[in-house]
């Protein structure tokens, strides 16, 4: 798969349109550590498009994105256990995506780049996760907590007997995830290990996944030589951003298919059109050559699930699903595995 060339002005217009749409959610992170920003339709939000960046901030969190030179948008869909996911990755070349790769807890000084002016005097600490494309940080306004964390700077956060992680979990300071193209800030409390993430902005840090040293999930078709530095998730036609099911929205479906045609893999778009034509034409799935590529197989499954969700009346759809919608576990987008399930 090759990314399509995208002019900076086109990227900025896409980012601005989705930043202004409350049904679009966002994430900044890596495989195993991610910050998500989402807002409610009626939630007060401060928008800012001055300078090179575009930002939106609420009482629960914020996002700032920038159409940096060389960035490409890569739209894709993936099969989940029962439905499908959709996303647009904001990608940079792998030789231009890296952040600071700190491997120990490190104080960075006041957070001068904070989205809200009131947060710019608080101390920023890099957690030292050594992720390629993101610096995962906490912002500490409490002088007492800052002093406690300073005592453990220079040590790996997740090392045995390091109390810094427990201090952070107990205090729930702001989380700040920064990549070359975006910054996500989360203001709400950190849920306990066995607790449910809030519906609004939140973060996930999963050490077992971080140890795999992946920049993104293997189920996401990112072109070779490119790394996703943030994602945007337009409204899903069959579920809310929280994952809860909703009445099928054909307008949301059509809107994302337009995005796929503009920024997705042309082969995936062509395969989807051929499968839809075959199903509507009553063709026997036995005569259809199943693709060998894992991403093409996912496209096939996604297409059949979208037809079913839309209430496709074709009598052959059930036969196609029985023959073709049997994914292996390693071909599923699993929520929580380093990316959201939008």
Residues 6+ apart with CB under 8 A from 86: 75, 76, 77, 78, 233, 234, 236, 256, 342
Mean pLDDT of 92-102: 97
Residues near 336 by beta carbon (within 8 Å), at least 6 away in sequence: 204, 206
Q: Per-residue confidence at 341, pLDDT binned at 50, 70, 90? A: very low
The number of angstroms, rounded, from the C-alpha of 122 to the middle of its chain's C-alpha atoms is: 27
Can you tell me the distance from the alpha carbon of 215 to that of 227, in angstroms, rounded to the nearest whole number?
7
Query: pLDDT for 132-188, tens place per residue?
Result: 999 999 999 999 999 999 999 999 998 988 999 999 999 999 999 999 999 999 999
CB neighbour class for 181 (10 Å; exposed up to 12, middle 13-18, buried from 19)? buried
Nearest 5°: phi and psi at 224?
-55, 135
Task: Identify whether the C-beta of residue 92 lies closer than 8 Å to the C-beta of residue 70.
Answer: yes
Torsion angle of C-alpha atoms 103, 105, 111, 113, degrees rounded to 10: 10
Per-residue model confidence as pLDDT tens digits over 15-27 = 999 999 999 999 9
What is the spatial distance between Cα 196 and Cα 185, in angstroms, rounded to a whole number? 19
Residue 22 DSSP class? T
Query: Which residue, 257, 255, 239, is CA-closest to 247?
Result: 239
Task: Please give the torsion angle defined by the CA atoms of residues 199, 111, 121 and 172, in that order, rounded to the nearest 10 degrees.
Answer: 30
Residues 185 and 65: beta-carbon distance below 8 Å: no
What pLDDT is recorded for position 312? Answer: 80
* CA angle 188–19–53, rounded 5-degree value: 90
Select from 51, 42, 46, 55 the least CA-distant residue to 16.
55
- Give the integer Cα–Cα distance in Å for 298 and 324: 10
What percent of the chain is modeled with pLDDT above 90? 78
d(CA 88, CA 234): 8
Average pLDDT (103-118) is: 98
Q: What is the chain's mean pLDDT, rounded?
A: 91
Inform me whether the pLDDT recorded for 1 exceeds 80.
no
Q: What is residue 336's predicted lDDT score, i.e. its pLDDT?
A: 42
């Amino acid at each position: 798969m090759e990314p399509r060339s995208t002019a900076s002005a086109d990227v900025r217009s896409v980012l601005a349109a989705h930043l202004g749409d409350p049904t679009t959610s966002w994430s900044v992170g890596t495989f195993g550590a991610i910050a998500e920003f989402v807002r409610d339709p009626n939630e007060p939000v401060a928008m800012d498009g001055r300078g090179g960046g575009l930002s939106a901030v609420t009482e629960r969190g914020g996002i700032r994105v920038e159409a940096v030179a060389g960035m490409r948008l890569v739209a894709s869909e993936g099969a989940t256990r029962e439905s499908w996911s959709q996303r647009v990755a904001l990608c940079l070349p792998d030789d231009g995506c890296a952040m600071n790769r700190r491997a120990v807890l490190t104080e960075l000084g006041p957070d001068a780049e904070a989205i809200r002016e009131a947060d710019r005097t608080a101390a920023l600490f890099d957690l030292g996760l050594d992720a390629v494309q993101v610096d995962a940080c906490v912002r500490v306004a409490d002088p007492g907590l800052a002093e406690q964390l300073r005592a453990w700077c220079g040590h790996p956060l997740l090392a045995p007997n390091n109390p810094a992680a427990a201090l952070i979990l107990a205090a729930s300071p702001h989380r700040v995830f920064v990549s070359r193209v975006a910054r996500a800030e989360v203001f709400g409390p950190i849920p306990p290990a066995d607790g449910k993430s809030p519906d609004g902005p939140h973060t996930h840090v999963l050490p077992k996944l971080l140890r795999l040293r992946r920049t993104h999930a293997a189920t996401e078709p990112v072109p070779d030589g490119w790394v996703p530095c943030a994602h945007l998730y337009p409204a899903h036609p069959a579920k809310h951003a929280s994952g809860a099911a909703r009445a099928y929205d054909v307008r949301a479906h059509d809107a994302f298919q337009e995005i796929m045609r503009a920024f997705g893999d042309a082969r995936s778009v062509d395969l989807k059109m051929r499968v839809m034509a075959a199903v509507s034409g009553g063709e026997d799935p036995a005569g259809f050559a199943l693709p060998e590529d894992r991403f093409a197989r996912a496209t096939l499954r996604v297409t059949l699930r979208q037809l079913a969700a839309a209430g496709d009346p074709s009598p052959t759809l059930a036969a196609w699903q029985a023959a073709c919608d049997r994914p292996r576990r390693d071909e599923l987008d699993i929520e929580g595995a380093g990316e959201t399930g939008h």
